Amino acid sequence: MNHKIPKTLEGPDNFRARVLYYGVKTLSENLRGFTIELVDNKQQHYRIAWPMTKPESLQIAKALLFFRHDPIWRQHFACGPAIPMWGKSGEKTSLSDYDEIADTYFKMLDLSVMLYQKGGTDPLGSDCELKIYGRFPDDILYIAEQNGWRVSDNHIRLKAPRGFSHLSRDMFILLLDDWAMKCLDLTGVRYQIKRKAEPWFPAWPGYPATALAENEQTNRRKAEKVNALYSTQVFDEYVKLTSGRDTYSTMPLEELIERVGEQDEALQRLNEVAENPTLIAKALRWRLRGLNVMHTLEKYRVDEVLHTHAEKDRESRRQRRAEELSALDDFPW
């Protein structure tokens, strides 16, 4: 994968976000994936991640396009800034200042805390985590074991379903309270976060109308650039003349003809020389995006050459495959 991530993203709703980080990152225990972290102009943080996968450039581009243009879809990735773990080297904040309520319970339970993560306040934040000097009581270790929290005899890490990390601190405080009151639920059920994990990606929404309009303007600029060329001897320029999805991308040939008008010179000349309706539609789309008559006709010709070569390649592959299968049939098994 070799995808260049822009430094900033902008959306039509005055949205603007700065990319803080992109690359492979640890998402949770034993889970890594390609991650993009951003912060917008209102200081809202976002995290887009592909767990255990290497997304293709087109997947990343599609995700960023929907992220920019669809505010509702964008909110699925909203998260808070990372909250540091207390007890790390260089930590100057007192445990009471870090989490006063938890610290009160730690003192009641006579716990000597080595490391403590109070958890995030948002659905995609960190889960609660506690590491102490000494050893947890057997009852606490049993509850941790039942719920899959146990790391070691002196270390537990709660595990909230994805999208519900903000509830892990509530469950942790409940556990501490029951422990202090000597009324622990040894089944561990009382401390479970019973929610269905949110998907890493929600379903793709409908293609945003603002993205169609944005792509149409981009395509018009591409057409203007080609129109500025006085020669048609620029094969590569026509090959590179590709479009993102815009208003014309899904229009059938009949509607495209209606849009350009039957008296359009480019359409009339295409009717004289062109035979492939798919390529005619492709040329007319670029005509509607602003390509002049000369370059519209040349665009059709270049696409026809590419189409013919592609068909020959496919036929060659089919023939080779047929020969391979025939050879297998003749093999004396």
Same domain for 175 and 99:
yes
Same domain for 178 and 277:
no
Percentage of residues in the chain having pLDDT higher than 70 = 95
pLDDT of res. 121: 78
Segment 135-152 shows an average pLDDT of 94
pLDDT of res. 221: 94
Same domain for 229 and 178:
no
For residue 281, tell me if it sits in a domain: yes
27 closest CA partner among 122, 127, 116: 127
Compute how many other C-beta atoms are within 10 angstroms of the C-beta atom of residue 197.
11
Lowest-confidence pick of 27-36, 106-115, 246-255, 306-315:
27-36
Lowest-confidence pick of 93-102, 116-125, 301-310:
116-125
Q: Where are the alpha helices (DSSP H) in 165-208?
A: 168-181
For the chain, the domain total comes to 3
Q: Where are the beta strands (DSSP E) in 96-149?
A: 113-117, 129-132
How does the average pLDDT of the chain come out, rounded?
A: 89
- 236 in helix, strand or coil? helix
Higher pLDDT, 123 or 213: 213
- 266 in helix, strand or coil? helix
d(CA 333, CA 325): 14
Q: Are 204 and 65 spatial neighbours (Cβ–Cβ below 8 Å)?
A: no
Same domain for 33 and 104:
no
Backbone torsions φ then ψ of 313, nearest 5 degrees: -65, -45
pLDDT tens figures, 39-70:
999 999 999 998 877 888 889 999 999 999 99
Residues forming beta bridges with residue 40, ordered by sequence position: 17
d(CA 48, CA 22): 9
pLDDT tens figures, 232-288:
667 888 888 888 889 999 999 999 999 999 999 999 999 998 889 999 999 999 999
Same domain for 282 and 178:
no
Same domain for 307 and 235:
yes
Q: Where are the alpha helices (DSSP H) in 261-292?
A: 265-273, 277-288
Same domain for 102 and 67:
no
**Lateral strand order in the sheet of 45-51:** 8-10, 16-28, 31-40, 45-51, 78-79
Higher pLDDT, 243 or 181: 181
For residue 275, tell me if it sits in a domain: yes
For residue 66, tell me if it sits in a domain: yes
- CA 29 to chain centroid, in Å, comes to 20
Question: Token pair for residue 290?
Answer: 């602003």
pLDDT of res. 1: 45
Same domain for 233 and 324:
yes
Question: Token pair for residue 203?
Answer: 């379903």
For residue 199, tell me if it sits in a domain: no
**Domain of 22?**
8-79
- CA distances for 207 relative to 10, 67, 219, angstroms: 17, 11, 17
Residue reference for tokens 């993205």: 211
For residue 89, tell me if it sits in a domain: no
Question: Token pair for residue 9?
Answer: 């993203």
For residue 63, tell me if it sits in a domain: yes
pLDDT of res. 329: 66
d(CA 175, CA 178): 5
Q: Is the pLDDT of residue 114 over 80?
A: yes
d(CA 260, CA 188): 69
pLDDT of res. 174: 96
pLDDT tens figures, 154-179:
999 998 998 898 899 999 999 999 99
Percentage of residues in the chain having pLDDT higher than 90 = 64
- Domain boundary at 31, 52, 79, which? 79
For residue 130, tell me if it sits in a domain: yes
pLDDT of res. 124: 80
For residue 270, tell me if it sits in a domain: yes
Whether the model pTM is above 0.85: no
Same domain for 316 and 222:
yes
Same domain for 118 and 21:
no
